[in-house]
């Protein structure tokens, strides 16, 4: 019996992630590895067309040329346009919402029925059964309900971060993804941004507002000792899920 209880406790601890967290006691959260983005091997410049093939093997490009393969364009727009390019995202979220609802419903009903005269049989029925046929059926109902609800929300995020173009759609739109991690002592703050942008919306300084990102996914959170202190213990979370009361 003790072995069964011990196994059940170990399984519950593993399912709640407690065993994994025990290995991080006294250690700062680990930062994630930088993800690689697929970029073209040859960068287009004024000297070579984008569709042109790279020089044959064994033939090196002139090292003194400003427009050799792999160098930046002299007169080309420097805004992000292809996979691997970097652009700046300006996040300025200041949302406030307040919703209040009130509902009230009342309904009353009354029904009655009877027969005061049934060919003289009403007296016989009253004498034998003891029922007055003039008041055979009578019902009365009453119901009422009321409900109130209110929601208030306020969010403010203001920051600037860099994102990288991961792919270019057939219509020219850019798929971007940005990740920023900051670790202070034992707390890791993480900002994730992803979505789709139009090249026309990118400003001259190679920046774009978060409101111009389609299918935007913006996540700002963290992990560490402060975040753990704000979370309910796994036993309380388990009771909240399983308890029917």
| Closest to 166 measured CA to CA, from 151, 181, 178 | 178
Is the pLDDT at 49 greater than 50? The verdict is no
Residue 33 phi, psi dihedral angles, 5° rounding: -75, 150
> Environment class of residue 234 by beta-carbon count within 10 Å: exposed (0-12), middle (13-18) or buried (19+)?
middle
Both tokens of residue 156? 């403010």
- Tens of pLDDT along 182-224? 888 888 888 899 999 999 999 989 999 999 999 999 888 888 8
Q: What confidence category does residue 13 fall into, taking pLDDT thresholds of 50, 70 and 90? A: low
8 Å CB contact between 135 and 125? no
Rounded distance, CA 195 to CA 216, Å? 4
Report, as an integer, the average pLDDT of 74-103.
83
Q: What is the C-alpha separation between 87 and 96, in angstroms, rounded?
A: 28
Cα–Cα distance measured from residue 151 to residue 57, given in angstroms and rounded to the nearest whole number: 67
State residue 70's pLDDT score: 47
Sign for the CA dihedral angle at 118, 119, 122, 125 comes to negative
What is the reported pTM? 0.55
The answer to whether the CB of 185 falls within 8 A of the CB of 29 is no
Q: Please check the confidence at residue 116 and state whether its pLDDT lies above 80.
A: no
- Supply the DSSP string of 2-49, one letter for each residue: HHHHHHHHHHHHHHTTHHHHHTTTTSPPPPPPPPP----SS--BTTB-
Percent of the chain with pLDDT over 90: 20
Is the pLDDT at 23 greater than 50? The verdict is: yes
When pLDDT is averaged across residues 138-146 and rounded to a whole number, the result is 82
Q: Could you tell me if 209 and 90 are in contact, meaning their C-beta atoms sit under 8 angstroms apart?
A: yes
Band of the pLDDT at 50, cuts 50, 70, 90? very low
Name, in order, each residue with C-beta under 8 angstroms of 205's C-beta and a sequence gap of 6 or more: 88
Count of H helices and E strands in the chain?
Answer: 5, 6
CA 163, distance to chain mean position in Å, is 19
Residue-wise burial string across 89-119, b where 16 or more C-beta atoms lie within 10 A, e elsewhere: bbbeeeeeeeeeeeeeeeeeeeeeeeeeeee
Q: Give Cα 170 to chain centroid, integer Å.
A: 27
Q: Of 26-35, 147-156, 165-174, 217-226, which gets the smallest average pLDDT?
A: 26-35
Which residue has better confidence, 117 or 16?
117
**Residue scoring higher pLDDT (50 or 36):** 36
* Averaged confidence pLDDT in the chain: 75
pLDDT of the residue at 214: 93
| Residue 125 contacts residue 133 (beta carbons within 8 Å) | yes
Say how far apart CA 95 and CA 91 lie, in whole Å: 12
239 vs 18, higher pLDDT: 239
For residue 227, name the pLDDT band (cuts at 50, 70, 90). confident
């Amino acid at each position: 019996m003790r072995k069964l209880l011990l196994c059940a406790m170990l399984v519950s601890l593993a399912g709640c992630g407690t065993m994994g967290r025990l290995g991080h006691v006294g250690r700062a959260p680990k930062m994630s590895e930088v993800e690689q983005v697929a970029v073209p091997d040859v960068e287009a410049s004024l000297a070579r067309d984008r569709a042109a093939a790279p020089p044959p093997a064994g033939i090196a490009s002139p090292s003194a040329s400003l427009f050799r393969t792999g160098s930046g364009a002299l007169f080309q727009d420097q805004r992000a346009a292809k996979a691997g390019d970097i652009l700046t995202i300006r996040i300025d979220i200041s949302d406030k919402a307040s919703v209040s609802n009130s509902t009230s419903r009342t309904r009353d009903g009354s029904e009655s029925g009877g027969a005061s005269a049934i060919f003289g049989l009403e007296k016989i029925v009253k004498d034998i059964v003891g029922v007055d046929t003039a008041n055979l059926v009578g019902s009365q109902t009453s119901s009422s309900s009321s409900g109130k609800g209110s929601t208030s929300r306020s969010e403010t995020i203001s920051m600037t971060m860099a994102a990288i173009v991961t792919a270019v759609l057939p219509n020219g739109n850019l798929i971007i993804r940005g990740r920023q991690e900051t670790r202070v002592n034992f707390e890791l703050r993480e900002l994730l941004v992803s979505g789709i942008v139009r090249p026309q919306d990118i400003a001259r300084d190679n920046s774009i507002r978060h409101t111009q990102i389609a299918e935007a996914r913006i996540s700002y959170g963290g992990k560490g000792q402060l975040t753990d202190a704000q979370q309910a213990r796994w036993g309380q979370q388990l009771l909240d899920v399983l308890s029917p009361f």
